[in-house]
Amino acid sequence: MSTQIEALATLQQVDQSLRSKTLAVAEGEGRVAALEEAVKGQSEAASKARDEVAGLTARQNELEVKLGAAESKTKDRRMRITRIRNDKELGLAKREMEILKDEASTLETELVGVMEQAETAGAKADGLEAELARLTAERDRESAELKGKVGRLGGEIERERASRTELAQTIEEDLRRRYEMIFSRRGGLAVVEARGGICQGCRMHVPPQLFNEIQRNLDRVFICPSCQRILYFRVEAAQANG
Ligand SMILES: [Zn+2]
């Protein structure tokens, strides 16, 4: 028959395991969410860059069509000009040719600029997409791993919660409540050994009188005067240590 304090120490082991597993689950889920977020951000950036490329390509096509039209118009005027005999008409036609030439030259200048921009934007989009592919592969691989781990931990947590419930029932309610309060306030360490007269929770010396009491009354609850944790004494540990 184990003492209440021993049962508490066992409960504490289960609680510590639950605590670290619950933290690991939250950490795993947080990492999965961060990976998703990174892929989403990269995907948005890549698609924005691809839209920019599409816009520039559309402008490039538009300019090419306009330039083509201006060039064929010029060709047409050049053929007509040979048939003009009237000086005034010839002057007008030459003027029109010049305007067409200027137009074609403006279009060409813009076209060259747009082609350069499209090339730069295309390279940027390629880079962003390559990074997106890398992030997606990383997310897929790491997420699968993490989800497996989270699932496994979830199963363990469920089993440990069930055994905790059973174990908790063997401990007097007031004591259990007191233990739970200390556990949450003292960083998951509520029941500690008073080994060799030293509290293993805060490493302070327990007053000798109190240490004697602890050793004589293994089933009574003693509180460390320094850290307010529940103290217990392990006979086997003391014997093993000589
Ligand atoms: Zn202490």
The Cα angle at residue 221 between residues 220 and 227, in degrees rounded to 5: 150
**pLDDT tens digits for 86-134?**
999 999 999 999 999 999 999 999 999 999 999 999 999 999 999 999 9
**What pLDDT score was predicted for residue 142?**
96
Ligand 1 mean position, distance from CA 13 (Å):
18
User: From ligand 1's centre to the CA of 206, what distance in Å?
Assistant: 8
- Read off the pTM: 0.75
pLDDT of residue 237 exceeding 80, the answer is no
- Going from the Cα of 199 to the center of ligand 1, the distance in angstroms, rounded, reads 5
Distance of CA 14 to the CA centre of its chain: 29
Q: How far is the CA of 201 from the centre of ligand 1 (A)?
A: 5
Q: How far is the CA of 228 from the centre of ligand 1 (A)?
A: 6
Between helix 173-185 and helix 4-81 the angle, nearest 10°, is: 40
Q: Report the mean per-residue pLDDT for the chain.
A: 94
Residue 84 pLDDT > 90, yes or no? no
Check residue 2 and give its pLDDT: 63
How far apart are the CA of 193 and the centre of ligand 1, in A? 9
C-alpha closest to that of 192 among 228, 221, 241, 229: 229
Q: What is the pLDDT of residues 205-229, one digit of tens each?
A: 999 999 999 999 988 899 999 999 9
Whole-number pLDDT of residue 234: 86
Task: Say how many Å lie between the CA of residue 192 and the centre of ligand 1.
Answer: 8
Distance 2 CA to ligand 1 centre (A): 23
pLDDT for residue 155 is more than 50: yes
39, 135 in Cβ contact below 8 A?
A: yes
pLDDT computed for residue 240 by the predictor = 66
**Ligand 1 centroid – CA 195 distance (Å):** 11
Report how far ligand 1's centroid is from the alpha carbon of 190 (Å): 10
pLDDT band at 1 (very low <50, low <70, confident <90, very high): very low
User: How far does residue 171's CA lie from ligand 1's centre (Å)?
Assistant: 22
What is 7-43 written as a DSSP string? Answer: HHHHHHHHHHHHHHHHHHHHHHHHHHHHHHHHHHHHH
Distance 189 CA to ligand 1 centre (A): 10
